[in-house]
Structure 1
Amino acid sequence: MLEALDADAVRRWAAAGVRALDADREAIDRINVYPVADGDTGTNLLHTMRSALDALVDDPADAAGAAVSALAKGAVAGARGNSGVILSQVLRGLAESWEGARTVTGTALRTALRRADQLATAAVSKPVAGTVLSVLTAAADAAEDCGSDLLDDVASAAVKAAAQALADTPRQLAVLAERGVVDAGGRGLLLLLDALATVVAERVDSDTNHDLPPLSAPKSALMHESSGFEYEVMYLLDGLADEPSLRDRLTRLGDSVVVAGDGHGLWSVHVHCDDVGAAIEVGIENGRPHRIKVTRFADEKARFERDRAVVAIVAGEQAAELFRAEGAIVLPVRAGREPTVTDLLDVFAETCAAQVVVLPNDTGLAELVSAAAERDGRDVVVVPTVSPVQGLAALAVHDPSRRSGDDVVAMAEAAAATRRGELVIAKREAITWVGRCQPGDALGMIDGEVVLIEPAPADLVAAACRLVDRMLDAGGELVTVFAGEDAPAALDDELGRHLRLSHPEAELTGYPGGQPETVALIGVE
């Protein structure tokens, strides 16, 4: 077991925490009944912890204190929901306690949990027993009372006390008892504490959560009732001069007020209210608000009617119909018009899903999807498909009954295992890896690189056969072809005849794709 945490151990803990939250996200969402039963606590915690981990990955921290500071900054900047803001303060408490420390011992963990408890409680305008704050306080108390200074003992004591405190939450908060559930935010915190104890004990991931209480579904199906206010308002605030005044004015506007800072001048503000303009105006009068996000509770039920959906960005109407038939919601790419962030946000809303898995099917759409994900109020995961043939392969293994993280990994692996080829007609003279091409030549590409040129007037069928042969030289059993707008009518038949002679072991599946300015898109698995 570890005697102290260093920067690498902090990174392992953050990654393990993301995995644990990802595994339990849907279950935590289902038991989310307080302060508003909007079914998103697990999603918000996961998004916040991912933001923290992303900040750490981008930071060259070589000491435990610096690593946790990066986590805290990322969590405050990316905090989502009441639970996410509170989590950001837990990380900030660790960062403040470990500032300048290269390694962290059991004694330092004890001090840090108490500071995390203080900051998280201070961030909430009206702390309530039976919530994540109760779980955090119990963990901090147990760490202080632990008779050993060993890191493993302190971490284990905190986890044990947190688990008991979580089990006690229904006895402290009536709404939890009525629904027969524990506090959702407290469950998320327990997962993160247990992930820390797992790293300290040097157990493997599969051992994580081995002794945690199971989750149960709420007794009632009422999952989207409001606290009495119509909107959730969140924003980041720079230059805050008077925190008590901001908190007091927000409290007069609504409830669930959380004002939390990263210790370096950035604040995350959260409130449930009816007057959105007034909530934002308070921020303007106290600093510079940005990344403003407003959610109407009445819309939440419609938005999140299911756990997960797949969105595919597809060029070619016939290909789009194929993806729809396979269960994806499609954003079609029209000739001469690139999709926009607004287009993607509209499609995300159409899914009515808490998590959206995106198949971009194009190398140039990653930034667009990232921008849309930043603005949307749900968990958006991108499977890196750069061609419809890879997207179709990913969609073929999609299983909505499988755990979210496992399903995304399976889809990504299927896409990565599909080699992509494309046959197009050159529009202008150019230098390629295999020589100079002229307008009208047929260009065969594998994974984005030109590998053959068929001079004009090109025999497109012969070029397609040569390209498929080149792709199968590296092995493969299944060939998938989308015939584009420029494909000859006999392409599928001629390719099938060619493969029966040259590669009888390979099976061909052809589809009309309709992609503009394309002869064929080819995938080999």
Structure 2
Amino acid sequence: MKIEYLKSTIVKKAFVNAANKLDENKETVNSLNVFPVPDGDTGTNMSLTMQSAVKHIRNNSNDSIESIASAASSGSLMGARGNSGVILSQLLRGFSKGLQGKEVIDVETLANSFKLASETAYKAVMKPIEGTILTVAREVAEKAQELVGTEDDIQSFLEKVIEQGEDALRRTPDMLDVLKQAGVVDAGGKGLIYILKGGLEAITGKEIVISDEDFKKEEIKIHQKATEDGEIKFGYCTEFIINKTEYQPEEFRNYISKYGDSMLVVGSEGVIKVHIHTNNPGEVLEEALKIGELIDIKIDNMRFQHRNQHIEDNDLTQLDKKDNKKYSFITISMGKGIENVFKDLNADFIISGGQTMNPSTEDILSAIDKVTGENIIILPNNSNIILAANQAKELSERNIEVLSTKTIPQGISALLAFDEELELEDNLENMKDAITNIITGQITYAVRDTSINNKEIKKDDIIGITNGDIKAVGSSINEVTLELLKESVDEDNDIITLFYGEDVEEKDANELAEKLQEEFEDLDVETIYGGQPLYYYLISIE
């Protein structure tokens, strides 16, 4: 049946289903990371950005098309995470402009909205790069414009538009050599295709049902009850979805009841959504794997969160009592040790985040509201957080500077160069100079087989990265670290600092430092507990 117009009820379903489609496939998008390191987060960032858009849509009492689109735009703007999430929020912002004043949507309206989406996103990026989500969005818009006047069936129109987008996605490796070397297509572009397909499926009546509002409301009640006494019997809040299963929710609920309490188990059409508080999340997940595949796994340590909430509340109370001061610093980092380093360097607010967990624009705005400085300097410490930090800066009325630190060592170096007595411009200049004098090394492991820069990498290999280039590959953490440093250290360097991660013992870090001191006898070698996940060592060379 031909679909010539879309009304507001279908538009709302299209946004929700687009978010669900992406969420269902976010791990596929994550796996398209160019480097084979365990921090692919494009799919997660885009999914969380879309979920924020949907949250705003659901909380909006006005169900007009214009209001739905505006809610999607503002929600994605506030919830944007990572560069891909920020670009997605700009796509939705432009798309919503095309729906202003519309009571129904036809092909021409959609085509104009796609065009505005692409234009808005391109303008938001200082140096647009082809072979990315921007290319896919542009070719989708161009195809949409081409179809105006020749196509009046929205289903057929969207199918042809998506086909063009998929063709553009297939060609992204021909536009970006790093994609071709890694053997992947652009992750952001892939995420956009899932969003478009999800919207189309809702329009044709093929909605994905993986969550509902009643589940969320009951979940909130459970958490309130679990923490009201200040004592938590089962410490890990474990959530996941069992996909493609023939089991009924009641069967699985009975089966896992022995592992914990506060259970919610709901489902329909081969999908079961599970929430349980347990002390053994791994055992619960193993039981779930027996009956289907798992998606959207989330495990939170409630005891840790409960303790930190009390600490944060106390800290904020003290913060409110402080007089306004000239400077405040907001930094982003992961790992208790690294957080302590930033605290020692007088950072006012530390947002927990980084690789695999990029804070949203709203998270950064919230931090801005909690510091008192006349001048606020944000240190993202990750290239994938800089756009969100700049977006927060634009939305705030405070005097904010975003220093484009791309690594933890750069952020630490910038703070060490700060002088309270200097004026803002002088401080920024000194901090930027300090950043340029830092070489950052990272030691982690490969999550897949690949070939990059003539280096053959196998899954689980140890890899050493310096300033974005893979310098060393091997089977030993210590040997790869030594090889990386031999490639990176020069006669101008004086200090090597090893920030060892949560998977490294202190004695092992000290033994490595001794070996490095023998190799680089003219340099000082230091070890500091970082506690960061995923990366065995973060290395500062200065």
Common fold by TM > 0.5: no
Please classify the TM superposition score into its range, dividing by the shorter chain length: 0.3 to 0.5
**TM-score, normalization: structure 1?**
0.43
- In terms of Rg, which structure is larger? 1
